[in-house]
Structure 1
Amino acid sequence: MALHAPSLGSNVLVVRAPRDDDELVRQLTAEKLSIQRIPIMKIVPSEDKIPIQNLVLDFDRYDCAVFISANAARFGLSWLDEYWPMLPMQTKYFAIGEQTAQRLRDYGCGVIVPRVDATTEGLLELPLMRAVEGLNIAIFRGVGGREVLADELKKRGAKVTYIELYKRDIIPAAVERARVAMASAACLIVHSSELLLALGVPPSAIASRLRLVLPSARIGAEAKRLGYQHVTVGSSATPRSLCEATLTALKDAGAY
């Protein structure tokens, strides 16, 4: 199959932070799509390392460790590898998203991950996450972000500690380039609400034409509030799901 409709351009625009090994881009390229990557965010390690060090040194007091993202797993495992050559036996490991889970598996951790709904909400539905009263839970994540997971675990009686490992910095110049590129793209893939909001309110001509692909209904609702008229939500944030959602969006537009 090949992409048609040159008036829309052949580009699928991807704006997330760059990755050394981008499986989504590989799958989209295999479908003969032309990919334009304009990262509007960069991931940088937290500069305040002493608090992280202190929390990691106390890692054996946690009953559960939750890794929010692949970046949380990458940075978190690097810290744990430095101070815990043998991980505590009693700690249970949880991941949001299959890519996050795979990083933990590659490190040798047994990991529990929601299979159907690979989101915070899906994680909270797991039986083990419903029986957390009195447990100490560490959440490995970036600085800031949603509070839904910690708030709900606290309501269920858990003691929650954030281990914040990195920052997500928006790149203003790249945002401007991406907004220009949206005018000729057939489809835009956005992985988070933070990226979506950084792009701002789209011009009406773009909002009425551009196909937007997102990993969750929550972000989809935000996109519609911004004015996007053609929103396709993948079944999860996995590369396969987002690739399939992209193909669906382009077919619906008559552009694939």
Structure 2
Amino acid sequence: MLNNGQVLDGQRVLVTRPTHQSANQIALLKAAGADPVHLPALQITPVAPADARYPHIKTQMMNLDLYDVVICVSPNAATITLDWIDTYWPQLPVGIQWFAIGKRTAAVLETGGIDAAVPAKGFDSEAMLVLPELQSLENKRVLILRGQGGRATLAETLSARGAQVEYANLYDRTCPHYDADHIKSTIYNPTPSAILITSGEALSNFVKVAQNQQREFSLNSLLATYLVVPSERVAETARELGFTNIHVAQGPDDQAMVNALQTANNSDCTQ
């Protein structure tokens, strides 16, 4: 736990979580003495009824009990899945092995009465693929609940293990757009002491936002800023982009990300 803002007192920390997921992280930062500034790097939009993809998702959700294994890859996917279940299932479908990537995702499913297995360590597809229940899947039907796009590692590996894998692409992740004045006042005037990035996609979007569509801002002034990321994979992407002051948190959850700032000394966090 953080010690009364010993490191974060007065630090301007940029929070990039989507709006509907930012409140807890902001509260933790304030409790630690920081001055959190919010600039979402991801926008989450559930697939709407008018969307051409909607009927297929509806069929998948109405036939949930036909799948042997259902894997939920994110808290957003879990939240939207529970909404679908509330609409079409008076009682939870039975006979499904539920899995969740990350404890936050499992916690969301638990609010709907779903007990999902979760890797003891790790927060990604690689950690999920180590679980013994997912080693032999001959002729098993697997549904992966996720946002549109993303990595194919999980589906490809499960298919190689004999599973019949489908995606239910429940939502879109897009890069928000901000006007130049908002970008300047939030990111550059003054520059933050630290930036919290919770995924590779959020990092990519943040770089786009920080440069602006017309590339009127230089990313160089941010590259030495203390950057907290949730995994070594995201850290490697950050290095490739030129960031030089990177810290890998114990995971993507809010407490882990905020706790990671405690390891910085004042010279690390102060521009």
TM-score by length of 1: 0.90
Q: How does 1:194-233 map onto structure 2 within 5 Å?
A: 194-200=201-207, 203-207=219-223, 209-233=224-248
CA RMSD, 1 decimal: 2.3
Distance of aligned partners of 1:237 and 1:18 in 2 relative to their CA distance in 1, 3 Å threshold: same
Is the CA contact 1:13–1:189 (under 8 Å) kept in the aligned structure 2? yes
Q: Give the gaps of 5 or more residues in structure 1.
A: none
Query: Which residue of 2 is the match for residue 56 of structure 1?
Result: 61
Which secondary structure does the structure 2 equivalent of 1:173 belong to? Answer: coil
Query: Which residue of 2 is the match for residue 37 of structure 1?
Result: 38
Question: Is 2:15 the counterpart of 1:14?
Answer: yes
Which secondary structure does the structure 2 equivalent of 1:13 belong to? Answer: strand
Query: Which residue of 1 is the match for residue 215 of structure 2?
Result: none
Which AA in structure 2 matches 1:237? Answer: P
Which secondary structure does the structure 2 equivalent of 1:195 belong to? Answer: helix
Which secondary structure does the structure 2 equivalent of 1:182 belong to? Answer: helix
Which secondary structure does the structure 2 equivalent of 1:225 belong to? Answer: helix
Which AA in structure 2 matches 1:25? Answer: I
Is the CA contact 1:213–1:249 (under 8 Å) kept in the aligned structure 2? no
Query: Which residue of 2 is the match for residue 187 of structure 1?
Result: 194
Q: How does 1:60-209 map onto structure 2 within 5 Å?
A: 60-173=65-178, 177-178=182-183, 181-183=186-188, 184-200=191-207, 203-207=219-223, 209=224
Is the CA contact 2:194–2:269 (under 8 Å) kept in the aligned structure 1? no
Counterparts of 1:174 and 1:166, CA distance in 2: 25
Counterparts of 1:203 and 1:21, CA distance in 2: 24
Counterparts of 2:181 and 2:263, CA distance in 1: 27
Is the CA contact 1:179–1:199 (under 8 Å) kept in the aligned structure 2? no
How far apart are residue 97 of structure 1 and its match?
Answer: 1.4
Runs (4+) off by over 6 Å: 3-6
Is the CA contact 2:13–2:34 (under 8 Å) kept in the aligned structure 1? yes
TM-score by length of 2: 0.85
Which AA in structure 1 matches 2:149? Answer: G
Counterparts of 2:173 and 2:233, CA distance in 1: 20
Which secondary structure does the structure 2 equivalent of 1:112 belong to? Answer: coil
Is the CA contact 1:187–1:250 (under 8 Å) kept in the aligned structure 2? no
Counterparts of 2:242 and 2:26, CA distance in 1: 26
The C-alpha deviation readout for 1:119-173, integer Å capped at 9, x for no partner, is 2111111111112222111111111111111111111111111111111121121
How far apart are residue 248 of structure 1 and its match?
Answer: 1.8
Is the CA contact 2:11–2:269 (under 8 Å) kept in the aligned structure 1? no
Counterparts of 2:130 and 2:183, CA distance in 1: 36
Q: Give the gaps of 5 or more residues in structure 2.
A: 212-217
Size of the alignment, in residue pairs?
252
Distance of aligned partners of 1:148 and 1:250 in 2 relative to their CA distance in 1, 3 Å threshold: farther
